[in-house]
Each structure stands twice: as structure tokens, then as C-alpha cells.
Amino acid sequence: MRDRSSVRARSGGRGNTLVVAVLIFLAVLFFLLDFQGVLTPVRSMISSYIAPSLGSIQSSVLRIGDILSGSTDVQRVSNERDALAKENSDLKGQIIRIPQLELENMRLREQLRIEKDNPWRLVGTDFSVQTLAEGRRTAIIGVGTEQGISVGMAVISRYQSSPPALVGVIDQVGPNSANVLLVTDYSSLVSVQIYHGDTVIRGVASGLMEREAMLHMTEIEREGQVVAGDSVVTAGLTRLLGPSLPHSAIPADIPVGIIKTVGLEGRNKVAEIQPYIDPEVVRYVWIIQSDEK
């Protein structure tokens, strides 16, 4: 019995040979016909059918290229926009920082001028006033014990053309903040003095509950020559009485204000003082850390 797979293999081989022979014959035939110009009309007809499709395909390819190119342009524009937005944000940040730097430089220059004209070592900080219940007047500052600040230190400021004047005294202190008792608070008591040539008239300045921007000077000797327009400065007497007193760190000769009116109260004179600076308008201060350079 014959092997059927062998028969099929031989039959397949003869079929393949026949197909190849037919293809070769057709190729030679088409070549001869084309050489003799017989296929020219057929070629033109085929070209007329194929050309529109080729054109459509070419247009589609061009459109795809344009789309891809446009997508690249959109991405590039988007990247440029993001870069410009970042640059704009950076410039705005610089514009904001420039005034801050200018203000810091101005305050530092002012501090150096004050230290040059006085035997003081200063620490500068922002100043935020707080008006508490019952007319109490205090402020918060952003420095404390870690910056060398302690209770009793004098707090000064400048406003417009005023001299560097007393606005308060450190009342409570923490690691990085402190409470300032303003000179206009009715519980504030500061030893002050007035110079008249070789004569020194001393007294005590305190705040007035009913008059926020004025100070009251008491304990003036009846014979003391105190007149309106006299300049009032700190006397620094509490340090002579004892270093444990609250205001013992206030040095002498810090400007306080100007005498506005003078009167009598019992056996002594009294006077009203117009402070050089209203603490309510102050936003930046210096603490006198030491008066010994």
C-alpha cells in the first residue's frame, strides 16, 4: 500500500512548479506587450484610477505631518508659556522683596546712627501695640531672652523728625518675644529729669488714663524752674536704688518729651509732658541692651 503523504507531496511539488512556470510566462508576456506599446492605454487607465487615491493618501500624509508638527508647536508654546509664568512669578517676588530690603537697610542705617551718637548697644525688632481692657497699653515685640533681652530694658523708637525717644519698658519676656509696657500706660513710672544749665530738676513720669497721648510728671520740687517747652529725659535713678527694681535697666538721658503745662499739686509742682513719640503710631523699635560700649 502506497504512502498517501508521499503522493500528496509529489502532487504539491508538481503544482508549485506549474504555478511558477505560469507566472514566468505571464511576466515575459507583459514585458513583450509593454515593450510593443500594447499596455500603454491600460497603464493610463490604471493610473487615472489610482492617481486620485494616491493624491488623497498624499494629502492625508501631509495633514498628519501638519498635525504632528502643530502638536509639537503647541507643546513648545506651552513650555514657553510655563517658563514665562515662572519668570513673571520670580520677578513679582523680587519686586516685593526689594522694598523689604530697602526698609531693612534704612532701619539698620538708622540704628547705626543712633549707636554712633549714644553709648547704647541696640537690638531692633517689629513692634505691635495692644490696647487691653481698662485702658492698659502694651505692645508685643519679636525678640526675647535668646536675643539677650531682659525685664526693665528701655524700648526706644524714632518717628519723623523726633529724636530717638522712650516708648516703653520691657515688662515680661519669653525666649523669642517680650511684652512692652508703654510709657503712656497709667501704671508706667519712669524717673525723669530736666536740665536748666547747671541745675537738674527731677521727677517721675507716668501715663494718664484719661489722656492717652500725654504723660504726667510729679514729685517736682516746688522751687524747681520748670517751664513749658523744657525737654524731659530719663534720669536713670532706679538703677541707683537697686538692680532688682523693674526699671533698673533704663539708662539716663533718653529723650521722653516736652513740657506742655506746669501747675501745683500740694507742696510740689506737677507738669504735663507731650511725648516725642506717640507709641500708638510706632511699628519698629530698638531695645537698649546696654549703655556701655
Exposed (0-12), middle (13-18) or buried (19+): which is 277, by Cβ within 10 Å?
A: buried
Cα separation values, 78 from 75, 84, 87, 261, Å: 5, 10, 14, 72
Both 51 and 135 in a single domain?
no
Both 15 and 148 in a single domain?
no
Both 58 and 127 in a single domain?
no
Number of domain units in the chain:
2
pTM, full prediction: 0.65
C-alpha cell at 73: 508647536
- Let me know if residue 73 belongs to a domain: no
Last residue of a domain, one of 27, 62, 97: 62
- Let me know if residue 93 belongs to a domain: no
- Let me know if residue 96 belongs to a domain: no
Residue-level pLDDT at 229? 93
Both 13 and 130 in a single domain?
no
Both 128 and 18 in a single domain?
no
Both 163 and 52 in a single domain?
no
Both 153 and 281 in a single domain?
yes
Both 269 and 135 in a single domain?
yes
- Let me know if residue 115 belongs to a domain: no
- Let me know if residue 240 belongs to a domain: yes
- Let me know if residue 78 belongs to a domain: no
CA distance 83 to 215: 59
Residue-level pLDDT at 225? 86
Both 141 and 16 in a single domain?
no
Q: What is the pLDDT tens value at each position of the chain, 293 positions in all?
A: 445 555 455 555 566 677 667 667 666 665 565 556 655 665 556 556 555 655 666 666 566 666 666 667 667 777 777 777 777 776 666 666 677 778 888 889 999 999 999 999 999 999 998 876 666 789 999 999 999 999 989 999 998 888 999 999 999 999 999 999 999 988 888 999 999 888 899 999 998 876 667 899 998 988 888 999 999 999 987 655 444 555 567 899 999 999 999 998 888 899 999 999 998 889 999 999 988 75
Domain that holds residue 176: 123-290
- Let me know if residue 249 belongs to a domain: yes
Last residue of a domain, one of 62, 83, 105: 62
Last residue of a domain, one of 18, 34, 62: 62
Give the domain CATH number at 255.
2.40.10.350
Residue-level pLDDT at 27? 62
- Let me know if residue 102 belongs to a domain: no
C-alpha cell at 251: 539708662
Both 149 and 26 in a single domain?
no
Both 38 and 164 in a single domain?
no
DSSP 134-195: GG-EEEEES--GGGT--TT-EEEE--TT--SEEEEEEEEE-SS-EEEEETTSTT-EEEEEEE
Both 137 and 245 in a single domain?
yes
Q: Within the chain, what is the greatest distance between any pair of CA atoms?
A: 157
Residue-level pLDDT at 265? 84
Fill in the amino acid letter for 217.
Answer: M
